[in-house]
Structure 1
């Protein structure tokens, strides 16, 4: 296996790499000291996994996620416990989020195995942070009816009124009426604004779907 470890703090990179070499001696390890270098390695090397810090110079870990156009699983390994950052990382496509201090060296092997098998990993602090962040966004669903919420869910998938009507066995006029009724309730004036607000504030995560492994 080939794994990238990206962190701007040399001592942190050294610690993570030492653990990897101790518990996963078969791994080939590449290093990056900033996000731009990490992205370059992601695109240029045949990696199996990447471990990234959130806060790095030139390009943050979240920035790497945003620009990453590879299929390499990425785990955020960081001190950052802020719910908004955890949520942004998972929305950005991270395969996991580990808060340093939550995990033991012995658990690293299980984390890697889980991600390589297509699972997702979260440390306990990250899981609580993600749940808190998601809970803050549930309230907007309480502002609209169940049918309006259902239609808005389709809107952020890029479906037209005609497609939504066909999916829900409604007329296009009925779909339009539901949408118009929802705009005032969520504080927007048109479809595009509704899509942006709904995508940002109605985002939710089913923590039961996250494979935590030994964490």
Structure 2
């Protein structure tokens, strides 16, 4: 029998439970990009890909079924595209646009429709993408430099061109009518408060997207095979050879062989140079648009 004069030992605490992984839906019409993103995100202990989708309608249906924490959404997809699906998806979960579309009017429209971030392929690393997914769940928006630049350009256009009347304020308390929002570090992470201000400054218009899209880069002149084009897409998204091999179910040696042929066709000597040409951001690339 236990001795009543002796205190009961402290009970052993229950083992700590693992945090519930963030549930993500990946929506992109390119199956290789979807597979690559899924492999990249699923490799993190605190993230799981709940579903993939090839267009906006499938993304919305998957979001209703799985109730994700974050949706990664492409812009240009057949059928219901990303911009059309965006207002419906943001009612379910925060949405990050993850796309090759870098045009300022598309960025601004995505913000008007409720996007919590905008990442352009080729402008972020795998680690930055993972950080963006985690942060957007907590209300911290993320933009790569092209998207941030588009927003800043719009803000500058809307800024008054003449100074306000009256004398220069003597103290910060006298300038409450002209408060400013601090710039985010490196132009990538933006607080939820700043996002709200940006959405207001970019415009509150609820007009429907007209469907007038700037022309895409004409990549046919590079004469890449289907597989080479898929791998070039993944290179431009910032993936390593190891990640590309996992996404395409091929060996790293095969990836390297493909990359050598891609570099020869694009007349490039580095991943950055090849990505710039592929995305249409290299000098003189405007001649390759259609």
- Give the shorter-chain TM-score range: 0.5 to 0.7
Residue number in structure 2 paired with 1:63: 84
Map Cα deviations across residues 154-204 of structure 1 (whole Å, 9 max, x no partner). xxxxxxxxxxxxxxxxxxxxxxxxxxxxxxxxxxxxxxxxxxxxxxxxxxx
2:133 is matched with 112
Matched, 1:48 2:69: yes
How many residue pairs match? The answer is 152
What's the CA shift for 1:142? 5.9
Equivalence for 1:188 = none
Do structure 1's residue 94 and structure 2's residue 115 form an aligned pair? yes
Partners in 2 of 1:91 and 1:122 — Cα distance? 15
State the distance in 2 between where 1:13 and 1:28 align: 10
Whole-Å separation in 2 of the counterparts to 1:207 and 1:56? 35
Structure 2 unaligned regions, length at least 5 = 1-21, 166-179, 191-290
Which residue matches 2:104?
83
- The Cα of 1:133 is off from its aligned counterpart by 3.2
Partner of 2:60: 39
Larger radius of gyration: 2
Structure 1 unaligned spans of 5+:
147-204
Equivalent position of 1:72 in the other structure: 93
Supply the distance in 2 between the matched residues of 1:74 and 1:118 (Cα, whole angstroms): 11
Residue 212 of structure 1 corresponds to which residue in structure 2? Answer: 189
Query: Which structure carries more helix by proportion?
Result: 1
| TM alignment of 1:124-135, pairs within 5 A | 124-135=145-156
- Cα distance change of structure 1 residues 60 and 25 upon mapping to structure 2, 3 Å threshold: same
Aligned residue for 2:68, secondary structure, equals coil
Q: Per-residue CA shift, 1:40-61, capped at 9, x if unaligned? A: 1222322111000011111111
**If the length of structure 2 is used for normalisation, what is the TM-score?**
0.47
Shift of 1:99: 0.4
